[in-house]
Amino acid sequence: MPSSRRLVLSRSAALIGAASTGLLLPEIVRAQGAKIRVGLMLPYTGTFAQLGVAIENGVRMAINEQGGKLGGREIEWFKVDDESDPSKGVENASKLVQRDKVDVLIGTVHSGVQMGIQKVARDSGVLSLIPNAGVHAATRALCAPNVFRTSFTNSQPTLALGKAMMDRGHKKAVWITWKYAAGDEAFEGFKESYTKAGGTIIKELGLPFPNVEFQSLLTEIAALKPDAVACFFAGGGAAKFMRDYAAAGLKGKIPLYGSGFLTEGVLDAAGPAADGVITTMHYSDSLDTPRNKKFRLDYAKAFKAQPDVYAVQGYDTGLLLVQGANAVKGDLGAKPALYKAMEGAVIDSPRGKWTMSKAHNPVQDMYLRVVENKENKVLGVAAKALSDSGAGCKMG
Ligand code: PHB
């Protein structure tokens, strides 16, 4: 099948000739009737593999709710496993944009890989929807009219964490993370919120992504005896961190906190080691709203799995794309109208309604949650309508 773009290009000469014969309109209608090419660039292997699957499920669920179409047009899917490998980010994004000629690129999870996508999106102008990766630059200094994020910035969840820890009387904390953009920027949010609330960070610990040899760092934490530990980990590595934390004898002695990714999608794998872990996040399984309950039931039915924050972010990416595509009746080439619709969208998400900031990042509530019986239970709202600063964003 030729792509809509190829169809338009290969027929452009014929169209010029046809203009005088009255054939132009049917030709254009046919070109617009071609399938919309949707590219998924996600991790399907490695420590973030299950995050990629949950995101894809969510995207497909939102579009299936529209009969599997976007703005009335059928879809052709293209998939690339980005392996959470930043060194292949540009190459993999280029495969989708140059080779597969996608109309929209949905991806990805890892902040380093996202920087590759951002470059390709800025150079090509292709519509780029970020369903997870929180790297600040994508909606700050390197923001772009064709790039929209449906998830968070890396410092958003941890900006809500510091006060919650101080409220519980933890005045001295150790921070630990994978040393790459996501961990470093999560630390920025934690440092700002915790020190502002009067806390002291006595040590910053780190290891390279996706390393999971936590033992020597846990020994160091035991020796430092902080009031609490705060961290950023996600996916398979997060489950192992919580198990190792318990096995090292720290659970029950030094309370463990984190941005909520720590306990997303891993509660079966972590088992009792996750009980009592307190986190801040823009979603919680137990949100007691009809919207969330219906979402969770429908997702479980469709995919025989429990949804997590990644599934919600994928679903919201689909909702955003549906709203945009409907506004332009499936003509994703109508960029000003498409962007305007997406900028003004109110996303009726399982996490609660959210809107787009000027820099194209969600303005959203952050919940305080605790793990109980393999569920993230809501303790309250830790920050209301939290917006990223969008510092340095100038839409070109
Ligand atoms: C990121 O690299 O931006 C990232 C990865 C996994 C998460 C959150 C952020 O759960």
Written in H, E and C, the secondary structure of 153-178 is CCHHHHHCHHHHHHHCCCCEEEEEEE
Is 372 within the bounds of a domain? Answer: no
Residue 111 beta carbon below 6 angstroms from any ligand 1 atom? yes
Supply the pLDDT for residue 5.
44
Residue 149 beta carbon below 6 angstroms from any ligand 1 atom? no
Beta-bridged to residue 369, according to DSSP, are 279, 378
Residue 270 beta carbon below 6 angstroms from any ligand 1 atom? no
- Tell me: do 273 and 162 sit in the same domain: yes
pTM for this one?
Answer: 0.92
Supply the pLDDT for residue 3.
42
Is 38 within the bounds of a domain? Answer: yes
Is 374 within the bounds of a domain? Answer: no
Supply the pLDDT for residue 21.
44
Query: To which H or E segment does residue 79 belong?
Result: strand 75-81
Is 108 within the bounds of a domain? Answer: yes
310 Cα to the center of ligand 1, angstroms: 10
Residue 345 beta carbon below 6 angstroms from any ligand 1 atom? no
Residue 315 beta carbon below 6 angstroms from any ligand 1 atom? no
- Tell me: do 228 and 336 sit in the same domain: no
Closest to 331 measured CA to CA, from 55, 108, 31: 31
Is 275 within the bounds of a domain? Answer: yes
Residues 6 or more apart whose CB falls under 8 angstroms from that of 98 comprise: 124
Residue 279 beta carbon below 6 angstroms from any ligand 1 atom? no
Query: To which H or E segment does residue 186 belong?
Result: helix 181-196
- Tell me: do 148 and 296 sit in the same domain: yes
Tokens of 243: 């198990």
Supply the pLDDT for residue 25.
52
Per run of 10 residues, the mean pLDDT along the chain (length 396 residues) is 41 41 48 86 98 98 98 97 98 98 98 98 98 98 98 98 98 98 98 98 98 98 98 98 98 98 97 98 97 98 98 98 98 97 98 98 98 96 97 92
- Tell me: do 293 and 266 sit in the same domain: no
Supply the pLDDT for residue 33.
67
Residue 366 beta carbon below 6 angstroms from any ligand 1 atom? no
Residue 132: which CATH number? 3.40.50.2300
* Ligand 1 atom closest to 238 (CA): 10
Supply the pLDDT for residue 295.
98
Mutate to test the pocket of ligand 1, among 47, 55, 110 (most ligand atoms within 8 A of CB): 110
Q: In what order do the strands lie in the sheet with 104-106?
A: 75-81, 36-42, 104-106, 127-130, 147-149
344 Cα to the center of ligand 1, angstroms: 26
Supply the pLDDT for residue 290.
98
280 Cα to the center of ligand 1, angstroms: 14
- Tell me: do 181 and 110 sit in the same domain: no
- Tell me: do 296 and 147 sit in the same domain: yes
Tokens of 160: 């809500």
Is 367 within the bounds of a domain? Answer: no
- Residue 238, domain extent: 156-281
Supply the pLDDT for residue 32.
57
- Tell me: do 198 and 313 sit in the same domain: no
- Tell me: do 304 and 253 sit in the same domain: no
Supply the pLDDT for residue 9.
40
Give CA–CA dist 49/60, Å, rounded. Answer: 17
- Tell me: do 186 and 249 sit in the same domain: yes
Is 369 within the bounds of a domain? Answer: no
Residue 133 beta carbon below 6 angstroms from any ligand 1 atom? yes
- Tell me: do 104 and 187 sit in the same domain: no
Count of domains for the chain: 3
Supply the pLDDT for residue 12.
40
- Tell me: do 189 and 144 sit in the same domain: no
Q: Where are the beta strands (DSSP E) in 331-361?
A: 346-349, 352-356
Would you say 124 and 97 are in contact if contact means Cβ atoms under 8 Å apart?
yes
